[in-house]
Amino acid sequence: MFGYNGKLLRVNLTEKRSSVEEIPEKIARDYIGGRGFVARYLWDEIRPGTDPLSPENKIVIATGPLSGVFLPSSGKIEFGTKSPHTGGYADSNMGGHLSSELKLAGYDMVIIEGKSEKPVFLFIDDDRVEIRDASAYWGMGALSSEKKLKEDLGEEFQIAVIGPAGERGVTFSCISHDFGRQAGRAGVACVMGAKGLKAMAVRGTKTVPVAEPGKLLEKSRSMYRAIYEIPAFHTWTPYGTADITSFINENGAFPTKNFSRGFFEKAGEITGQKLREKIHVKDKGCFGCPIPCGKYSRVTYKGDTRYVEGPEYETIALVGGNCLIGDIAEIGYINYWMDEYGVDTISGGNVIGFALECIEKGIIPAEAVEGRELKFGDPDSVLYLLEKIVRKEGIGEILSQGVRKAAEILGKGSERFAIHVKGLEVSGYEPRNAAGMLLAYMTSDIGAHHGRAWAITYDIAVGRYEVKGKAEKVIDLQHIRPVIDMLTVCRFPWIELGFPLEEYEEVFKFVTGLDWGWKEFKKVGERVYNLTRAFNIREIKGFGRKDDYPPKRFYEEPLEGEGPTAGQHVSLEVLDAMLDDYYSLRGWTKDGRPTKEKLEELDLGFVSRELESI
């Protein structure tokens, strides 16, 4: 199989054993790689009803056919598991250099099983695979452990590592790599922690077989050259994801004060331009990437200086706007601690915003925060809550389980402003007046994550209150995006520079030898989207339409504050109309279940049979 090693490495931490298995060609054809492999192997290998934190849960780590290949931005790797944060399907990806390294080590995938009683890390040096003692790293921050692992093993090893948050079971902890790249969402790191797995260190030196290397060289070279001609190559790259801050704020879609507002007066202080002016040290890129979005920074807060990659837009939105922190260096400093502790900054900022609102409303009493006066806009309040969460002390214990569980425990109406869907905290776009984005959050398989279908720009382009056509657009995006994650390339050349998706067809052909176009790709995208929906139906009791609703704040409370969207909100009728439209276009029932016919059409007959049996 060109473009693949055709091998997966299975590691059992209970038995301290690893083995290499073939990946069937049929799986590679039906699921491409990356996110597709994760979805299929999780479906097949996790026994229904498995407790996410038990040894029976598994972690699937997958590269794709384009990983490690000379090609713009081909450096993504996918991590997946049954989520301890949502109870459903989870995958999360990150960039950097781990994907190419693992591919060069001779594996397309790694599956982690079991649980080690003592902390360990997985050591992979081409064919040499060892489960090593990690007691020297356990308890250390993610960035500090990566530094130490590199010192101990060699700089050329690529490391994925968790911090204390993952070790202690914070369900929104993240996996960290390359001093600032994270697989952050839905708690993959928490499962690593439960398995006693601190890190994975990889070095690879082998060649990846490709079908037509000569044509690949010519094609990829022309892709780089085409990117260099796009004006945004020069204008977007210096700022990376933070570039979008002003645009989103000016459109009233910037999450502010726990999603009660869509506009932050201080947004002008936390833009990509301010980042570059005030704290920027270095542009940092993933493997093969011509548009390095990583902005490595140095920040000082109260005399303490730290290096941090970012802050990225999502962090700016959730730690900045959502907690009312209006200073780029302060956000960067909080970002550093979230990275070092190994906390997802999206869920982290969202959870802390929620906590601050609970404090403001008296739902969390002063005694619960040691009598301190915690408030929005105060970095020390955010840092205090972060530390409590990571230590799981007092109120931190409750908050460490995410906003859905915290609201269940705290009660007193707090669930209306616990901003999540399916238990996953909403990311950096206030969707009350972006119907497509809201529908994308509602129907995202892992819960409310922007990356599953980034519909906000479409909303802004065609009219944000317009409902017609939104379901169709969201579905199309939900089929494109998985493909990008299956090829394991980065979405930014397409999303941010407008680089045509068709360009990937030829390069895929020269790598794999398969003459596929987006028609075939999107079919796989649809297959995977239905499969992960089925995973949620299988794993979450009574899962269906009710799980696709956003928090009441989004459809009952008009946006407060200033900005073009102040006073606006989407009604429940609109939500229902969009959902009906969405389900019917997808071939799902009114309760959001894929029909037998739909599943069979997608070669998911085995899924249909299993669902019928429960």
Partner 1 sequence: MKFKLNEETCSGCRTCQAICSLVHFEKVNPKLGALKIDAHFPEPGAYTIRHCTQCGACAAACPLQAIEERNGVYRVVPEKCVRCGACVDACPHGVIFLHAEIPYAVKCDNCGECIRICPRVALMDEEGEVANDVRL
Q: Which residues are at the interface with partner 1 (CB under 8 A)?
A: 68-70, 97, 100, 104, 143, 147, 155, 178-179, 204-210, 213-214, 216-217, 221, 224-225, 227-228, 281-292, 294, 296, 298, 307
Nearer to partner 1 by Cβ, of 100 and 256: the residue is 100
Residue 46 sits at φ, ψ, to 5 deg, of: -95, 120
Q: Phi/psi at 548 (nearest 5 deg)?
A: -95, 5
- Residue 171 to residue 169: CA distance in whole angstroms: 6
Query: Do 143 and 339 contact (CB within 8 A), yes or no?
Result: yes
Radius of gyration of the chain (CA): 22
Q: Which is nearer to partner 1, 291 or 475 (CB)?
A: 291
- CB 497, min distance to partner 1, A: 12
Nearer Cβ to partner 1, position 309 or 459?
Answer: 309
Min dist. Cβ of residue 541 to partner 1 (A)? 44
In order, the DSSP letters of 282-305 are EEE--TT-SS--EEEEEEEETTEE
CB-wise, 290 or 326, nearer to partner 1?
Answer: 290
CB of 510 to partner 1, least distance (A): 11
| Least Cβ distance, residue 41 to partner 1 (angstroms) | 24
Least spacing, CB of residue 132 vs partner 1, in Å: 22
Closest CA to 96 of 159, 168, 27, 26: 159
Residue number, 5 or 86, with CB nearest to partner 1: 5
Q: Helix 345-360 vs helix 379-391: angle between axes, to the nearest 10 degrees?
A: 110
Q: How far is the CB of 152 from partner 1 (least distance, A)?
A: 15
Residue 70 beta carbon to partner 1: minimum distance, rounded to whole angstroms: 4
Distance CA 592, CA 347 (A): 26
Per-residue DSSP letter, 425: E
Q: Which is nearer to partner 1, 60 or 105 (CB)?
A: 105
Nearest approach, Cβ of 170 to partner 1 (angstroms)? 22
Contact 66, 3 (CB under 8 A): yes
Please tell me the distance from the alpha carbon of residue 106 to that of residue 119, in angstroms, as a whole number. Answer: 26
Whether 85 contacts 405, CB under 8 Å = no
Question: In this complex, which beta carbon is closest to partner 1, that of residue 179 or of residue 454?
Answer: 179
* Measured distance CA(338)–CA(344) in Å, rounded: 7
C-alpha distances (whole Å) from 78 to each of 34, 260, 486, 613 are 5, 33, 8, 30
Closer to partner 1 by CB, 365 or 498: give it. Answer: 498
Contact indicator for 124, 98 with CB cutoff of 8 Å: no
Side chain identity, residue 433: N
Output the CA–CA distances (angstroms, integers) from residue 599 to 28, 384, 528, 595, in the order listed.
19, 48, 11, 6
Q: Strand 304-309 to strand 17-22: parallel, antiparallel, or no bridges (unpaired)? A: unpaired
| 3 state SS of 541 | coil
User: Which DSSP string do the residues of 19-71 spell out, in sequence order?
Assistant: EEEEPPHHHHHHH-SHHHHHHHHHHHHSPTT--TTSTT--EEEE--TTTTSSS
Beta carbon of residue 288, minimum distance to partner 1 (angstroms, whole number): 5
Pick 296 or 516: Cβ nearer partner 1:
296
Strand partners, 109: 8, 62
Q: Shortest approach of partner 1 to residue 199 CB, angstroms? A: 16
Nearest approach in angstroms of CB 287 to partner 1 is 6
Question: Which residue, 176 or 427, is less far from partner 1 as judged by CB?
Answer: 176
Choice between 215 and 405, CB closer to partner 1: 215
